[in-house]
Structure 1
Amino acid sequence: MQTNLSTEAKTLARADEAESILRSCVHCGFCNATCPTYQLLGNELDGPRGRIYLIKQVLEGEPVSETTQLHLDRCLSCRNCETTCPSGVKYHTLLDIGRAEVERRVARPAKDRLLREGLRHLVPRSSLFATALKAGRALTPLMPEAVRRKIPAAPAKGKARPPVRHARRMLMLEGCVQPSLSPNTNAAATRVLDRLGISVAAVARAGCCGATDYHLGAHEAGLNRARRNIDAWWPSIEAGAEAIVIPASGCGAFVKEYADIFKHDLAYAQKAQRVSSLARDLVEVLGAEPLDTLTPQAGHAPRRIAFHCPCTLQHAQKLGGAVEALLRRLGFDMTAVADAHLCCGSAGTYSITQPELARRLRDNKLDALEAGRPDTIVTANIGCQTHLNSAGRKQVQHWIELVEAALDGPA
């Protein structure tokens, strides 16, 4: 795509990167065929190709309006288009650059601004989020139905974690909302890994991966959270930690991006590269181990499983099919899921900032997941899990909890 950045745009820190990405797009439109918002809305500007044109106009100095911002906001950042693109366009990187520039040039309405700021200050702070969630549950009877559905019921407490006792040691990113929304997920992961001779430690000073801030346009705040994680993990990495295991695919996708987003940061580039190289989704860790030591007990249930593969797992981390393959190795029967490449509508904070589109995507996804009449639906990301469960239909859990329950046998 022929591009001529404005004088002002050329001063941006990532101007050369943006120009290179724009030039790599050949306008083919294959991306629209797999874009969830384009399929729902049928508007060229609500597909990747149209959004690329909008960002091109922004960076070439054309006027920017609330309409430009709206179409960029509607993007799920699911990266399905990147999986489809024959030219290898790094759309998500261009979107981050474009959104940040539009955010700088277009003032949001006060209500919108307060919502986004509230999400930025609540979601990444695990203790504050837990307190707010507890209060929300207490006040649920007083809330409208639409709000009540977004507040999940209190889950069972996580079981005790095994002590650190093995020579093989890994770190774990606990996440900011998973400990409150699904406390047994991380605990189950540590217990299954313990069966494989791997001890897992969480570093208390490591917190939110930074994705919430970064994807809401507050890039520097997101980078600062990432820097704190790198600093927190570094002593353990130097001491020989084998990997950083991440049960939530959304967090894992962003940590694996540290190397790219810090490549021009002289103080953090090398450390970020090391951290990204050590980051492993939980399925990568288990999939590399001899699973013959993990034998499901006879009579364990359920057997017939539908797996929702999060976009951050299949499109960002390129691990589509990995969980399904692992579950088959353990003896589970996996149902076919139509349009498994499409987003469920969770997409970080998208289900809150774009509730109507998110609801339509969620219901479509649940229709596809339930079509094979599975005993259980599992996923690999807490955001997807919570969003799908907000429909009040068949409950969704993290796949590692299913695996552990099968290993323990019937209750």
Structure 2
Amino acid sequence: MQTQFADFIKQTAQGRRAEAILRHCVHCGFCNAGCPTYQLLGDEQDGPRGRIYLIKQVLEGNTATRATQQHLDRCLTCRACETVCPSGVEYGRLLDIGRGLVEQQVSRVWHQRLLRWLLLFALPVPQRFARLLAVARICRPLLPRRFKNMPPSLQAVSRRPASRHSRRMLLLEGCVQPALAPSINAATARVLDRLAISLVDTPAAECCGALAYHLNDQPAGLNSMRRLIDAWWPEVEKGVEAIVTTASGCGVTVKDYAELLKHDPLYAEKAARISGLAKDIGEILSAEELSVFKPAARRIAFHSPCTLQHGQALNGVVEKVLLGLGFELTPVADGHLCCGSAGSYALLQAELSGRLRAAKIQALQAGRPELIATANIGCWLQLREKSALPVVHWIELLAEA
């Protein structure tokens, strides 16, 4: 794709990156076939190819409009288009650049600004989110109907094994996961303990920066990334084996630190080290001998999150682990499509998100499984709200064994 960038962006690092990405695009349109919003809306500008043209126009000096912003907002950033693209176009990277520029040019209406501020205020700080969630649980009868099932019931927190093994790893606890579903991280600690691996506690490690970055407050997102690197760095220097992620949405961001901070003279080298250490729990377990686990055979529908199969390119890794342990995986039609969670998307684009969730639940339940398993806290929350079947993180199935 030929470009004629405007002077304000031409010689910047962002401009050079965007130009390199655009030059790979050959206008073929294969990306639209895998795009959930294009399939729902049938509008070229709500598919990857159309959004690429919109971003290109902004980069070439055309003034962005509220319609431009809306079309970019509707993108889930699921990156299914990247999986099917024959030219290797890094659409997600280009989208981040485009959204950041449009955010500078187009003022949002007050209720959009308020909602985004509330999300950034409440979600990235674990202690604050836990307190707000506790209030929401108490006030559940007073909540509007569409929010009554959103706060999950309080889970009992099981004790984690003490750190006692020579093999040591860090765990990204997450912002909302410890309050919403503490059983996931506890299950991870127990499973790894059975494999003679200890998780090192790092209380200062909080938000990975994904929420702010993808809500177009990119400076705040990068600062969260730097704080997380600082919190982990003493243990990295002591030689931890890996950084384990159980939320694939956080995992894809941490693996991207090397790219996002490569122009930061103070953090570029550290960010690259962190990215190299980051591993999804599926990657960890796929490399281990798992005969110690004897789970009961169960019929499971596995929902592979977009951030796992498209963002981290780990499609099939968790499924292979589960099959190897004797679980039966039921077929799921259109498994590449998003469930509609996509971080904050379920709140910011509720109507589209709800349509995607309904289709995903229908596909997951079609094979008549006993339960649904997934690998991301956002997908877990999205599906359990409307699913007739139990929804769990797949690591909990191993912890039961």
Gaps of 5+ in 2: none
User: TM-score, length-normalised on structure 1?
Assistant: 0.96
Work out the CA distance in 1 between the residues paired with 2:69 and 2:11.
21
Residue in 2 that maps onto 1:401: 396
- Are the aligned partners of 2:361 and 2:387 in contact in 1 as well (CA < 8 Å)? no
Residue in 1 that maps onto 2:33: 33
Deviation of residue 177 (structure 1)? 0.4
How many residue pairs get aligned? The number is: 401
Identity %, equivalent residues: 57
Residue in 1 that maps onto 2:373: 378
Deviation of residue 152 (structure 1)? 2.2
- 1:105-184 equivalence runs, <5 A: 105-154=105-154, 156-184=155-183
Residue in 1 that maps onto 2:239: 240
- 1:238-317 equivalence runs, <5 A: 238-296=237-295, 300=296, 303-317=298-312
Work out the CA distance in 2 between the residues paired with 1:164 and 1:85.
44
Work out the CA distance in 1 between the residues paired with 2:143 and 2:232.
41
Q: Deviations over 1:36-88 (max 9, x none)?
A: 00000000000000000000000101121100000000000000000010000
Q: Deviations over 1:302-353 (max 9, x none)?
A: 6101100000000011111111110111110111110000000000000000
Deviation of residue 151 (structure 1)? 2.3
- Are the aligned partners of 2:191 and 2:399 in contact in 1 as well (CA < 8 Å)? yes
More off after superposition, 391-400 vs 344-353: 391-400
- Are the aligned partners of 1:31 and 1:49 in contact in 2 as well (CA < 8 Å)? yes
**1:86 and 2:86 aligned:** yes
Residue in 1 that maps onto 2:64: 64
Residue in 2 that maps onto 1:185: 184
Work out the CA distance in 1 between the residues paired with 2:149 and 2:340.
15
Residue in 2 that maps onto 1:202: 201
Deviation of residue 157 (structure 1)? 1.5
Residue in 2 that maps onto 1:3: 3
Work out the CA distance in 1 between the residues paired with 2:26 and 2:288.
42
Work out the CA distance in 1 between the residues paired with 2:156 and 2:360.
28
- Are the aligned partners of 1:158 and 1:185 in contact in 2 as well (CA < 8 Å)? no
- Are the aligned partners of 1:304 and 1:376 in contact in 2 as well (CA < 8 Å)? yes
Work out the CA distance in 2 between the residues paired with 1:11 and 1:70.
28
Residue in 1 that maps onto 2:385: 390
- Are the aligned partners of 2:375 and 2:393 in contact in 1 as well (CA < 8 Å)? yes
Work out the CA distance in 1 between the residues paired with 2:377 and 2:201.
18
Letter of the 2:310 partner, please give it. Answer: H
| Cα RMSD after superposing both structures | 1.0
Q: Deviations over 1:170-190 (max 9, x none)?
A: 000000000011011000000
Residue in 2 that maps onto 1:335: 330
Letter of the 2:357 partner, please give it. Answer: R
Work out the CA distance in 1 between the residues paired with 2:37 and 2:60.
25
Work out the CA distance in 2 between the residues paired with 1:392 and 1:275.
36
Work out the CA distance in 1 between the residues paired with 2:151 and 2:180.
10
